[in-house]
Amino acid sequence: MPADPKITREDLKRLLIKDEATNYFLLVGGMIEQLSIDLIFEKVIREDRQSDSQRKQVKRMPQTEREEILYMTGIIDSGEKGKIGRAYGTRNDLAHNADDTAVTDVLNNVDSDIERAYDAVELLHKKLYGIDLNQRLSNLLVDDPM
């Protein structure tokens, strides 16, 4: 490191955006994984075959394999599969390729990438629970008595 390192305002802003985007996409990735696991367990595996060991097996699958199962069974269509795959791929790019050009692409398109990732979570949530994610979360909010 140079004796007098200088970080520009733009460098600092970029670092902060990268950290926030990484945290967001790690959260989205976890939600995509869990919703995919729950959907497979709920809609694909027969009730008489459901067990802790089956759940562990589904959890150990790569996410792309879970997406393929959801697609092959007709739970998601090819467009939805693509949307989920792109959102999860963005998560992987940020989590595993910190200095890669893919990260630069994400940061240059962060607004559209965030929206696409939210849409992926939303569609999985709606297929599992039958309601929009924001409707489910709004039920958790307490009205302000004031």
Range of the domain at 61: 9-138
Classify residue 108: in a domain, yes or no.
yes
Asked if the structure places residue 146 within a domain, the reply is: no
For residue 3, pLDDT over 90 is answered with no
Q: How many residues does the chain have?
A: 146
In a domain? residue 117: yes
CB-CB contact of 1 with 87 (8 Å)? no
Cα distances from 85 to residues 34, 60, 61, 98, 106, in angstroms, run 14, 17, 15, 19, 15
How large is the average pLDDT for residues 52-59?
95
1 located within any domain: no
Q: Which has the higher per-residue pLDDT, 61 or 12?
A: 61
Whether 34 is covered by a domain: the verdict is: yes
Q: Domain total for the chain?
A: 1
